């Protein structure tokens, strides 16, 4: 919001529209109702189980490609409402505040330790034009405010425009995103540990295809963070 408008509009919770003390925050009630997964303290959590096989078969002298993963929230109706219905607020603002909140809550757990770079799962330029922004990128901006890490939106690219994953069956989702991503060479990601960031992970097919593009960079390590995951 424009700073001048802040003078005339009181700070409201973007979900329930109750008054809150500070701008760009959820009210205590809505914040409490978000169903946390506690993935940051659960090794072998759902996200790690989805991508663990990337390290197999593993040659001893290689560092593991996939380091850790986690989603902050379970994707339930309340979360769906928060993440997908920017009724009165600009949705990017909400994505950002959720990213910031997640980073704040997970900061001391060591989940973000060693990460060099935040990388949002990219959307195709056609979709970007249509929607105006990439939700994952705004989640990254929220994370970055707390973690003080750079965001890279120019290396991992979405080169194929595919139907929305949410409209497909699990089996269709896997083939739908095959070869949808591309990383130009030479890549700047040698010896970096990147955090791939998404808003919702369901089957993991989208993120898996991103990882497939990254694994040929042998010295690049990958971790995965999602705002939410379907149960």
Q: For Zn ion, which residue of 27, 123, 140, 214 counts as binding (CB under 5 A)?
A: 27
For the record, the structure tokens of 102 come out as 């997640």
Q: Is 30 in the site for Zn ion (CB under 5 A)?
A: yes
Applying CB under 5 A, the site for Zn ion has a residue count of: 5
Stretch that binds Zn ion, among 15-23, 52-60, 125-133, 197-205 (CB under 5 A): 15-23
Could you give the CA distance from residue 83 to residue 137 in angstroms, rounded to a whole number?
Answer: 14
Q: What is the closest distance, in whole angstroms, from the C-beta atom of residue 83 to Zn ion in the complex? A: 14
Q: Is 16 in the site for Zn ion (CB under 5 A)?
A: yes
Q: With respect to Zn ion, which residue has the nearer C-beta, 76 or 152? A: 76
Asked if 68 and 223 touch (Cβ cutoff 8 Å), the reply is yes
Asked if 102 and 116 touch (Cβ cutoff 8 Å), the reply is no
Give Cα 20 distance to the centre of its chain.
26
Q: For Zn ion, which residue of 11, 12, 13, 174 counts as binding (CB under 5 A)?
A: 13
DSSP 134: -
Q: With respect to Zn ion, which residue has the nearer C-beta, 13 or 183? A: 13
Asked if 112 and 142 touch (Cβ cutoff 8 Å), the reply is no
Q: Where do we find the tokens 């999602």? A: 226
Q: With respect to Zn ion, which residue has the nearer C-beta, 11 or 168? A: 11
Question: How many C-beta neighbours within 10 Å does residue 24 have?
Answer: 15
Q: With respect to Zn ion, which residue has the nearer C-beta, 101 or 134? A: 101
Q: Is 15 in the site for Zn ion (CB under 5 A)?
A: yes
Residues lying near Zn ion in the complex (CB under 5 A)? 13, 15-16, 27, 30
């Amino acid at each position: 919001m424009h700073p001048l408008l802040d003078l005339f509009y009181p700070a409201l919770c973007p979900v329930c529209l109750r008054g809150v003390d500070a701008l760009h925050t959820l009210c205590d009630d809505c914040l409490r109702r978000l169903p946390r997964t506690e993935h940051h303290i659960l090794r072998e959590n759902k996200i790690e189980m989805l991508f663990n096989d990337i390290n197999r078969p593993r040659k001893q002298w290689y560092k593991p490609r996939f380091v850790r993963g986690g989603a902050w929230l379970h994707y339930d109706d309340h979360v769906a409402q928060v993440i997908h219905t920017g009724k009165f607020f600009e949705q990017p603002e909400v994505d950002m505040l959720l990213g910031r909140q997640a980073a704040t809550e997970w900061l001391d757990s060591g989940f973000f330790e060693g990460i060099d770079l935040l990388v949002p799962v990219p959307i195709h330029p056609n979709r970007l034009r249509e929607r105006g922004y990439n939700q994952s990128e705004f989640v990254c901006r929220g994370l970055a405010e707390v973690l003080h890490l750079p965001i890279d939106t120019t290396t991992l690219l979405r080169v194929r425009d595919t139907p929305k994953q949410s409209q497909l069956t699990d089996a269709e989702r896997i083939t739908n995103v095959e070869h949808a991503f591309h990383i130009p060479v030479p890549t700047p990601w040698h010896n970096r540990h990147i955090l791939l960031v998404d808003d919702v992970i369901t089957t993991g097919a989208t993120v898996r295809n991103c990882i497939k593009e990254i694994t040929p960079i042998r010295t690049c390590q990958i971790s995965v963070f999602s705002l939410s995951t379907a149960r």
